[in-house]
Structure formats: C-alpha cells, structure tokens
Structure 1
Amino acid sequence: MDSPWEEDPRADYAPEADWAKLSNEFTNSGYREGIIAGKESALQEGFDAGFAHVGVPIGRDLGSIRGVISAIASFLSSKSQEDTTTLTTAREISSSLAGIRFSDIVPVDQEAEQHAREHLDANDDLIEQSEELLQKREMEGLEDMLQRLTAGTTSKPLQGRPTREDIIRLKEGIFTLSAQLGLDITP
C-alpha cells in the first residue's frame, strides 16, 4: 500500500479505547448531573424554608402595618379636626415605614455568612463584590436620598438604615395612636 488512500482505516482501531472513553464520558456526565440535581434540590429546600419562615411573615407584617397606618392617616385627614397632632403622628409613622426595605429588617443569615468566611483565602483577601450587588447598593443610596427629599416628610431623618427595633417602635406607635382614636387593632 503505497497510497494513504489504500490503507485500511480499521487497522489502528481499538474498540476497547472507544469503550473506555465512552464510559468515562458517561461517568463524568452522570457525576455532573448528580451534583447539579443535588444543588438544585438543596437550593429549592432552602428557598422554600426561607420563603415560608422568613420572607412571607416579615413581608406580611410590614405590609399590614403600612396598610393600617395608611388607613388611619387617610381617616384622620378626611376629618375636619382642630387637633392635628394625631394626623401629624400618623404621617410621621407612615413616612418612616415607607423608607423601610425588606433587606433592612430581615434576620442575618448566619449560615451563609459562615460559609462565605470559610471560603476566604488564607491571607484574608476581601471578597470582591459583584457588579450586580454594587449597582443594588448604589440604587439603595439613591432611594435613601429621594426619601429624604420627599415633600411633606415631617419626620426626623433616621441615623443609618432602619432596624427590626425600629419596626417594633413604629408598631407600638400605631397601637398607641389607634387606642387614642378608640380603634381596636389587634396585633
């Protein structure tokens, strides 16, 4: 055989090599799919727990107290009254509640923070912040500035971001105000 065209293409063929390669590829593919399925399962379980036990209760509570104080303020503003103190108080509470974000009052995820600490390099390099996180923080800063500039805001500016303790204090203010008005608002 003087020409490469005349060579037997099966002369160097080793079925065992193909089988080993194919078996290795299926093993690796199955391993990757197993890891992905495990991560998705754990992620879904974590999301479900966080949603049901953290997100919904906190969001519902914040929405409820915003609705209550909004209704009280609306009721007071529709009445012609000499005493504007209660209306001013209701508007201050409403304004304070309007500036609260979910991220301000959600409990810190200790497990996630510990996980992040474990993945820091030995030389304690800071974790680089993603572009998305930087943009979110920039937008939150703009929201804070807008909140301070909102016309009709009579409340004192908060020092820093609101906390869960601020929510408790505002709720107590709502209950006090509702009691003064003779309204029965059960917590």
Structure 2
Amino acid sequence: MDSPWEEDPQADYAPKADWAKLSNEFTNSGYREGIIAGKESALQEGFDAGFADTGVPIGRELGSMRGVISAIASFLSSKGQAESTSLATARELSYSLAGVRFSDIVPIDHEAEQHAREHLNADDPIGQSEELLQKREMEGLEDMLQRLTASPANRSSQNRPTREDVIRMKEDILALSAPLGLNSIP
C-alpha cells in the first residue's frame, strides 16, 4: 500500500464514507496549507527584495538630499546672505524636494500592477482597498511635509515630479554645495 488512506478501515471504527470524507478533508487542508505557505514565502521574498533594492536606496537618497539642502539653506541664511541667489535657490530646492513623493520616483512594477488587475475583486471598490488607503495616508504625510517648507512661488504647480526632476535637483544641490567646499550627497 502506497498511502495510509488506501488501507481498509476497520468496520467498527468508521464507515467507508467517513473515511473518504476524512481523506478528502486532509487532502484539501494540506493543499490550502501549501498554497498559504507558498504565498507567504513569495511575499516575504518580494518584500525583502523591494525593501533592499528599491525602498531603502531611494528613501536614503531623497532623505539625504532633503537634509543637505536644508543645511545649505540654513548655513547661507546664518551667514547673512538673505538676499543671495544661492539662498533663494536652496529654498526653492528645499520646497521642491519636500513635494517629491516616493510614488513619484519609484520604478513602476508592471508585474505587480498586472497581478493587482487580475485579482481585483468586483465587490471591493478600488477606492477602498487597504493598500490604496495606506498609500493615500502616506501621500497625506508627504503633503504635510511639503507645506512645512511651502514656497509661494510653486504652490500652483500641479505637475508631479519625476525621477529625472530629482536627478536635476541633485545636480543643483551639488552645484550649490561646491562653492561652499562641501562634498554633500553620498
């Protein structure tokens, strides 16, 4: 006999119908457990890769740029250069960087988008999904950060920044920091 389920159960222990039902329930339960374990493993692996390869490097770079331009603006302001072009540029860069959202500059994950489209539940309105609510909450926090460094000159701008915009801002920060003798952004 290859399987314990193929054994002939004792007649006084359980009828054959119960034995078949029990066998079927264990098979289904094992299948479900296997699916769940596979999903959890793939989910953790995907999170680890996204966190290490995308989230941390982009977040660190953006945070460094925000910190450096804030320090440059503070330094220029403390040196009595309130009317200088450099200080105005630093303040404008600070404002612009405060308006950058992670979702503006992270590479698009086409596979994840396709997967989400395939599994979208018709009963679950897209506007109310947990992931979308979390994203909106994070964007709200990012908007508050932007308002803390609000510049009246750019308040009307409706275009979201792109990765290319952030690269240009980094170049501008490097150009501002060089005359000050700073090696600013890692």
Partner residue of 2:163? Answer: 164
| Maintained 8 Å contact 1:69/1:90 | yes
Name the one with the larger helix percent: 2
Partner residue of 1:129? Answer: 126
| Maintained 8 Å contact 2:105/2:163 | yes
Number of matched pairs? 171
Partner residue of 1:37? Answer: 37
Identity within the alignment, %: 73
Between the aligned partners of 2:142 and 2:174, the Cα distance in structure 1 is: 28
Q: Kindly report which structure 2 residues correspond to 1:1-187, keeping only aligned pairs within 5 A, or say none.
A: 15-81=15-81, 83-117=83-117, 128-131=125-128, 132=130, 133=132, 136-137=135-136, 140=139, 144=143, 153-157=151-155, 158-185=157-184, 187=186
Distance 1:41 1:71, change over 3 A: same
RMSD over aligned Cα atoms: 3.1
- The amino acid that maps onto 1:174 is I
- The amino acid that maps onto 2:154 is K
- The amino acid that maps onto 2:126 is Q
Displacement of 1:24 after TM fit? 1.1
Distance 1:148 1:53, change over 3 A: closer
Distance 1:46 1:170, change over 3 A: same
* Structure 1: unaligned runs, 5 residues or longer: 1-12
Between the aligned partners of 2:142 and 2:52, the Cα distance in structure 1 is: 28
Structure 1 length-normalised TM: 0.76
Between the aligned partners of 2:68 and 2:149, the Cα distance in structure 1 is: 22
Displacement of 1:78 after TM fit? 1.1
Between the aligned partners of 1:138 and 1:60, the Cα distance in structure 2 is: 20
